[in-house]
Amino acid sequence: MQVAVIGLGRFGSALAETLIERDHEVIVIDKNEKLVQRFVGKTDTAIVADATDDTVLRTLGLPDMDAVVVAIGDDVEASVLVCITLMDLGVKKIIAKAEDERHARILSRIGVQKVVQPEKESARHVADMISYPTITERFNISDRHAIVEIKAPKSFVGKRIRDLDLRRRYNVLIIGIRRKEAVFDKRADIKDLNEVFLAPPDPDGEIEEGDTLVLLAPNEAIDEIARWE
């Protein structure tokens, strides 16, 4: 994929590095030469320029890119100007970083499709790790629903999914089960453990010790799920 990252602060740099590691074609732009220098040799196109100067943006073939990320936080005016120029150029996918709620609202209002607030999002992630230690993964799929992963609570082991009745009791669906299955050798000794993902799981199947359950849950059920033992 071809991606441009405008603004090489901590977030923009970390993002550009990750994309380069994944073998994407990455253009990086910053007005600070020192920050751009760090990318020389890592990517073919590392540009020192003021991105609010639209003549620069016009020459880079940005409309053909799969995504352009605007990672300018402090200077809201520059961030907005760059986003508007990118929209005028016909860039298909713009992802912009916002410093705070006000900045995020402005970017959404001018039509940026995806606005991220990395500090806020990672703070929430760490808070979740503290508040909900049994929930090993959480992925918000709408404002009201999340997909969460938990180790199967002891009280569930040996019970059929149907009999747990989670859907009626809490509006929670088990959409998948991650399970280690033993692989036996000829002498019936355990040779290896294979991970299988049962999705959707059989409602008549039993939960086994060591299972990981993948749940689709409304946000209001998360506190309840975190209490399951």
CB 212 within 8 A of CB 140: no
CB 215 within 8 A of CB 193: no
Residue least distant from ligand ATP (Cβ): 73
Interaxial angle between packed helices 76-89 and 101-109, expressed in degrees from 0 to 180 and rounded to the nearest 10 = 20
User: Binder to ligand ATP among 16, 68, 72, 161 (CB under 6 A)?
Assistant: 72
CB of 97 to ligand ATP, least distance (A): 6
Rounded to whole angstroms, how far apart are CA atoms 193 and 54? 57
User: Binder to ligand ATP among 4, 5, 8, 27 (CB under 6 A)?
Assistant: 8
Could you tell me whether strands 212-218 and 114-116 are parallel, antiparallel, or unpaired per DSSP bridges?
unpaired
CB of 87 to ligand ATP, least distance (A): 16
Q: Which is nearer to ligand ATP, 83 or 152 (CB)?
A: 83
CB of 12 to ligand ATP, least distance (A): 6
Q: Which is nearer to ligand ATP, 30 or 211 (CB)?
A: 30
Could you tell me whether strands 190-198 and 25-30 are parallel, antiparallel, or unpaired per DSSP bridges?
unpaired
Specify the stretch interacting with ligand ATP by CB under 6 A; choose among 19-27, 71-79, 86-94, 210-218.
71-79
